[in-house]
Protein backbone atom coordinates (compact mmCIF):
# COMPACT_ATOMS: atom_id res chain seq x y z
CA UNK A 1 0.00 0.00 0.00
CA UNK A 2 1.19 3.53 -0.77
CA UNK A 3 0.71 5.75 2.29
CA UNK A 4 1.06 9.52 2.61
CA UNK A 5 1.64 10.15 6.34
CA UNK A 6 1.17 13.70 7.65
CA UNK A 7 2.79 14.79 10.91
CA UNK A 8 1.13 16.35 13.94
CA UNK A 9 1.44 19.97 15.11
CA UNK A 10 4.81 18.97 16.63
CA UNK A 11 6.30 18.68 13.14
CA UNK A 12 8.24 15.91 11.44
CA UNK A 13 9.75 14.47 14.62
CA UNK A 14 11.70 11.23 15.02
CA UNK A 15 8.52 9.54 16.27
CA UNK A 16 6.79 10.27 12.93
CA UNK A 17 9.72 8.68 11.13
CA UNK A 18 9.46 5.72 13.55
CA UNK A 19 5.77 5.37 12.67
CA UNK A 20 6.67 5.42 8.98
CA UNK A 21 9.31 2.73 9.57
CA UNK A 22 6.73 0.60 11.36
CA UNK A 23 4.50 0.86 8.29
CA UNK A 24 7.41 0.11 5.94
CA UNK A 25 8.29 -2.96 8.01
CA UNK A 26 4.76 -4.18 7.35
CA UNK A 27 5.40 -3.91 3.60
CA UNK A 28 4.02 -0.46 2.82
CA UNK A 29 5.61 2.38 0.90
CA UNK A 30 5.38 5.55 2.99
CA UNK A 31 6.04 9.22 2.37
CA UNK A 32 6.34 11.70 5.25
CA UNK A 33 6.20 15.24 3.87
CA UNK A 34 7.56 17.97 6.12
CA UNK A 35 4.85 20.62 6.13
CA UNK A 36 6.84 22.78 8.57
CA UNK A 37 10.04 23.08 6.48
CA UNK A 38 12.26 21.42 9.08
CA UNK A 39 10.81 23.06 12.18
CA UNK A 40 9.68 20.98 15.14
CA UNK A 41 8.26 22.09 18.47
CA UNK A 42 8.15 20.71 22.00
CA UNK A 43 4.63 21.62 23.12
CA UNK A 44 1.15 21.57 21.64
CA UNK A 45 0.91 25.33 22.24
CA UNK A 46 4.05 25.93 20.17
CA UNK A 47 2.64 23.63 17.51
CA UNK A 48 -0.63 25.54 17.33
CA UNK A 49 1.30 28.81 17.08
CA UNK A 50 3.47 27.46 14.25
CA UNK A 51 0.42 26.05 12.47
CA UNK A 52 -1.28 29.43 12.73
CA UNK A 53 1.86 31.26 11.59
CA UNK A 54 2.10 29.11 8.45
CA UNK A 55 -1.66 29.15 7.92
CA UNK A 56 -4.13 26.39 7.12
CA UNK A 57 -4.29 27.21 3.42
CA UNK A 58 -0.50 27.08 3.07
CA UNK A 59 -0.32 23.78 4.97
CA UNK A 60 -2.96 22.28 2.66
CA UNK A 61 -1.11 23.61 -0.39
CA UNK A 62 2.11 21.98 0.83
CA UNK A 63 0.26 18.71 1.50
CA UNK A 64 -1.36 18.70 -1.95
CA UNK A 65 2.01 19.36 -3.61
CA UNK A 66 3.57 16.51 -1.63
CA UNK A 67 0.82 14.03 -2.51
CA UNK A 68 0.26 15.03 -6.16
CA UNK A 69 3.15 13.03 -7.67
CA UNK A 70 1.80 9.83 -6.08
CA UNK A 71 -1.98 10.26 -6.12
CA UNK A 72 -2.41 8.30 -9.36
CA UNK A 73 -1.25 5.21 -7.44
CA UNK A 74 -4.30 5.33 -5.17
CA UNK A 75 -2.93 6.58 -1.87
CA UNK A 76 -3.96 5.80 1.64
CA UNK A 77 -3.94 9.13 3.44
CA UNK A 78 -2.85 8.94 7.06
CA UNK A 79 -2.33 11.61 9.65
CA UNK A 80 -1.48 12.22 13.28
CA UNK A 81 -3.64 14.86 15.05
CA UNK A 82 -3.21 18.00 12.90
CA UNK A 83 -1.96 15.72 10.14
CA UNK A 84 -5.20 13.73 10.42
CA UNK A 85 -7.24 16.78 9.53
CA UNK A 86 -4.98 17.39 6.53
CA UNK A 87 -5.13 13.73 5.47
CA UNK A 88 -8.92 13.79 5.72
CA UNK A 89 -9.18 16.89 3.53
CA UNK A 90 -6.93 15.38 0.87
CA UNK A 91 -8.58 11.94 0.92
CA UNK A 92 -12.05 13.44 0.48
CA UNK A 93 -10.79 15.43 -2.49
CA UNK A 94 -8.94 12.56 -4.21
CA UNK A 95 -11.22 10.21 -6.13
CA UNK A 96 -8.39 7.66 -6.34
CA UNK A 97 -7.84 7.53 -2.56
CA UNK A 98 -7.77 3.93 -1.32
CA UNK A 99 -8.31 4.70 2.34
CA UNK A 100 -8.06 7.16 5.20
CA UNK A 101 -6.33 6.28 8.48
CA UNK A 102 -6.63 8.87 11.24
CA UNK A 103 -4.77 8.89 14.55
CA UNK A 104 -5.85 11.49 17.13
CA UNK A 105 -7.82 13.83 14.92
CA UNK A 106 -10.49 14.70 12.40
CA UNK A 107 -11.59 17.77 10.49
CA UNK A 108 -14.71 19.56 9.35
CA UNK A 109 -16.42 18.17 6.26
CA UNK A 110 -17.86 20.25 3.47
CA UNK A 111 -21.61 19.78 3.15
CA UNK A 112 -20.99 18.63 -0.42
CA UNK A 113 -18.34 16.03 0.51
CA UNK A 114 -18.90 12.78 -1.36
CA UNK A 115 -16.87 9.58 -1.63
CA UNK A 116 -17.61 6.11 -2.93
CA UNK A 117 -17.42 3.87 0.17
CA UNK A 118 -13.98 5.18 1.15
CA UNK A 119 -12.65 3.01 3.99
CA UNK A 120 -11.97 5.26 7.00
CA UNK A 121 -10.55 4.28 10.36
CA UNK A 122 -10.17 6.69 13.29
CA UNK A 123 -8.22 6.05 16.51
CA UNK A 124 -8.78 8.58 19.27
CA UNK A 125 -8.46 8.95 23.04
CA UNK A 126 -11.51 8.81 25.29
CA UNK A 127 -12.01 11.46 26.44
CA UNK A 128 -10.06 13.71 24.09
CA UNK A 129 -10.16 17.48 24.60
CA UNK A 130 -9.80 18.08 20.86
CA UNK A 131 -12.24 15.37 19.73
CA UNK A 132 -15.25 15.57 22.06
CA UNK A 133 -18.00 12.94 22.12
CA UNK A 134 -20.52 15.32 20.52
CA UNK A 135 -18.03 16.28 17.80
CA UNK A 136 -17.21 12.65 17.03
CA UNK A 137 -20.88 11.70 16.79
CA UNK A 138 -21.50 14.52 14.35
CA UNK A 139 -18.31 13.75 12.40
CA UNK A 140 -19.27 10.08 12.10
CA UNK A 141 -22.73 10.91 10.77
CA UNK A 142 -21.31 13.43 8.28
CA UNK A 143 -18.70 10.93 7.04
CA UNK A 144 -21.39 8.26 6.59
CA UNK A 145 -23.59 10.79 4.75
CA UNK A 146 -20.63 11.55 2.47
CA UNK A 147 -20.42 7.84 1.62
CA UNK A 148 -17.47 6.73 3.75
CA UNK A 149 -17.26 3.33 5.42
CA UNK A 150 -16.20 4.49 8.91
CA UNK A 151 -14.79 2.71 11.96
CA UNK A 152 -13.99 4.58 15.20
CA UNK A 153 -11.79 3.14 17.94
CA UNK A 154 -11.64 4.89 21.34
CA UNK A 155 -8.95 4.38 23.97
CA UNK A 156 -10.20 5.18 27.46
CA UNK A 157 -7.73 7.07 29.63
CA UNK A 158 -5.17 7.66 26.87
CA UNK A 159 -3.80 11.15 26.19
CA UNK A 160 -4.45 13.04 22.95
CA UNK A 161 -1.37 11.90 20.96
CA UNK A 162 -0.98 8.63 22.87
CA UNK A 163 0.93 6.78 20.12
CA UNK A 164 3.93 9.13 20.33
CA UNK A 165 6.54 7.80 22.79
CA UNK A 166 8.25 11.21 22.86
CA UNK A 167 5.22 12.93 24.41
CA UNK A 168 3.65 12.92 27.88
CA UNK A 169 0.43 11.53 26.30
CA UNK A 170 2.24 8.24 25.50
CA UNK A 171 0.24 5.16 26.42
CA UNK A 172 2.14 2.02 25.41
CA UNK A 173 -0.83 -0.36 25.70
CA UNK A 174 -3.23 1.87 23.76
CA UNK A 175 -0.55 2.54 21.14
CA UNK A 176 0.06 -1.18 20.56
CA UNK A 177 -3.68 -1.87 20.26
CA UNK A 178 -3.99 1.03 17.82
CA UNK A 179 -1.14 -0.18 15.63
CA UNK A 180 -2.46 -3.75 15.62
CA UNK A 181 -5.92 -2.66 14.44
CA UNK A 182 -4.52 -0.09 11.99
CA UNK A 183 -2.13 -2.54 10.34
CA UNK A 184 -4.97 -5.05 9.94
CA UNK A 185 -7.08 -2.28 8.37
CA UNK A 186 -4.31 -1.51 5.87
CA UNK A 187 -4.12 -5.21 4.96
CA UNK A 188 -7.77 -5.09 3.86
CA UNK A 189 -7.32 -2.22 1.40
Residues 70, 74: Cα–Cα separation, whole Å:
8
What is the reported pLDDT for 159? 95
Q: How many domains does the chain have?
A: 1
Domain of 86: which CATH number? Answer: 3.40.50.1820
What is the reported pLDDT for 139? 97
Q: The domain containing residue 39 runs over which residues?
A: 2-188
- For residue 41, the 8-state DSSP code is -
SS (H, E, C) 93-157: HCCCCCEEEEECCCCCCCCCCCCCCCEEEEEEEECCCCCCHHHHHHHHHHHHHHCCEEEEEEEEC
Report the DSSP pairing between strands 2-6 and 29-31. Answer: parallel
- Torsion on CA atoms 8, 14, 15, 20, rounded to nearest 10: 90
Give the list of residues 6+ apart from residue 134 with CB closer than 8 angstroms, or none: none
Tens place of pLDDT per residue across the chain (189 aa): 999 999 999 999 999 999 999 999 999 999 999 999 999 999 999 999 999 999 999 999 999 999 999 999 999 999 999 999 999 999 999 999 999 999 999 999 988 999 999 999 999 999 999 999 999 999 999 999 999 999 999 999 999 999 999 999 999 999 999 999 999 999 999
Amino acid sequence: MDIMLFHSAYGLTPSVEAAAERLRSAGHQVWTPDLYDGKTVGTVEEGVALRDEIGKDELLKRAVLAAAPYSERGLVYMGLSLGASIAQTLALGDEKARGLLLFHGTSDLAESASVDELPVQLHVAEPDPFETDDWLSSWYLQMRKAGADVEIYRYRGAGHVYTDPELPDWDAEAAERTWSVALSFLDTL
